[in-house]
Amino acid sequence: MSFIYAAIVTFLAFFILVPMFFGLIRAFGIYTIVEEGRCHVYVLFGKVLAVLDEPGIYFLWLKLGLAAPIVNWLGKCHVLDLRLDQTYLRSQPVNSEEGAPMGIGIWYEMFISDPVSYLFKNADPRGSLSANVSSATVRSLSNLPLGDMLVDRHKMSLTVRTEVSPKSNEWGYKLGSVYIRKVHFRDIGMIKQIEFKVVNRLRQVTSAIKQDGANQVSIITSTAERQAAIEFAKAAAMRPRIVGEALQKISTDREILDAMFEILEMQSMIEGQARVTFVPPRSELLAQLLVADSPQAATKPPQPPKK
């Protein structure tokens, strides 16, 4: 039981009593803790008593003196965020030099540089900075050439930052990097016309490329056909001369010439797929019988007897 009582007492002491004790002494201004990237501004009766912008533990008796016990009760402690913040403004309306309605998307960074000016010189520094950036974008980037507006974004970003920075510094809200992220057309009809022209131009270029390729293929094909025809014509012209020279050499020997013609005749008969019947010599009757038995003789109509 003693262990359970000790555990309960320890729990109450460390999780309830200790936080209540430290919260009470912070309420009476004994000390405060400033976190990383934060700033505490203590105001009493309309007067700024202290600005604590470095992280750490501060004893307010040393910073505020006798006002430390009552500053949290009769005054106010403003806790500000000093970290870098970012905002993106979409489609700010501008007109190019040619009169085209354009939209510009601008991205910028900002952070609190002077906490006192941020609190008391402007009721809405963030909204005022956004309005200032928007108006500076419209004012400084209007009437620019369309080509520069679509290409040279770095120069436009520097122009906007140069115009906005002096005014934002007065409000304690410092402007960081500025970047033009998007430039686009706002008129839907103009977008459709540009798309139509681009598609037509792509079609024309594609057709020209295809036609040029077909022309090149036709030129190559016709050149190859012409050269082949020339070579075939040369070969056809040379063939009779070669054959004639060969026949002239063969004709010098009569036996070779007769053998060659017999071979050519036999080759022609074989290639013609004719039916050849060999008949022994001095067999006139056999020859007549073979002729009478042939299919051509059977289909041939009988001849009338001669008078």
Q: So what's the pLDDT on residue 209? A: 92
The rounded distance, in Å, linking the Cα atoms of 136 and 132 is 6
Which two three-digit tokens encode residue 281? Answer: 């010599």
User: What's the CATH number where 129 sits?
Assistant: 3.30.479.30
What is the chain's pLDDT, residue by residue, as a tens digit (307 residues)? Answer: 677 777 777 777 777 777 777 777 777 778 888 888 888 888 888 888 888 888 888 888 788 877 878 888 888 888 888 888 888 888 888 888 877 888 888 888 888 888 888 888 878 888 888 888 888 888 888 888 877 787 878 888 888 888 887 777 777 888 888 888 888 888 787 778 878 888 899 999 999 999 998 899 899 988 888 888 888 888 888 878 887 777 777 777 777 777 877 887 777 777 766 666 667 776 676 667 777 766 554 444 555 544 4
The span from the first CA to the last CA of the chain, in angstroms, equals 162
Within 10 A of 204 (CB to CB), how many other CB atoms are there? 10
Q: So what's the pLDDT on residue 303? A: 53
Which two three-digit tokens encode residue 73? Answer: 């009760």
The residue among 190, 216, 235 that closes a domain is 190
Question: Is there a single domain that holds both residue 60 and residue 103?
Answer: no
The verdict on residue 44 lying in a domain is yes
Q: Kindly report the length of the chain.
A: 307
The verdict on residue 233 lying in a domain is no
3-state secondary structure of 48: strand
Question: Is there a single domain that holds both residue 47 and residue 72?
Answer: yes
CB-CB contact of 209 with 129 (8 Å): no
The verdict on residue 278 lying in a domain is no
The verdict on residue 92 lying in a domain is yes
The rounded distance, in Å, linking the Cα atoms of 203 and 198 is 9
Question: Is there a single domain that holds both residue 90 and residue 152?
Answer: yes
Q: How many domains does the chain have?
A: 2
Question: Is there a single domain that holds both residue 12 and residue 33?
Answer: yes
The verdict on residue 202 lying in a domain is no
Domain membership of residue 99 as a residue range: 85-190
Question: Is there a single domain that holds both residue 123 and residue 145?
Answer: yes
Give the pTM: 0.53
The rounded distance, in Å, linking the Cα atoms of 171 and 255 is 127
Within 10 A of 269 (CB to CB), how many other CB atoms are there? 12
With CA atoms as reference, report the closest residue to 108 among 23, 154, 207, 177: 177
The residue among 146, 165, 190 that closes a domain is 190
The residue among 145, 174, 190 that closes a domain is 190
Q: So what's the pLDDT on residue 150? A: 79
Q: So what's the pLDDT on residue 307? A: 44
The rounded distance, in Å, linking the Cα atoms of 31 and 64 is 11
The verdict on residue 144 lying in a domain is yes
Question: Is there a single domain that holds both residue 71 and residue 97?
Answer: no
The verdict on residue 104 lying in a domain is yes
Question: Is there a single domain that holds both residue 108 and residue 149?
Answer: yes
Which two three-digit tokens encode residue 198? Answer: 């681009």
The verdict on residue 9 lying in a domain is yes
Question: Is there a single domain that holds both residue 67 and residue 34?
Answer: yes
Q: So what's the pLDDT on residue 298? A: 47
Which two three-digit tokens encode residue 4? Answer: 């359970």
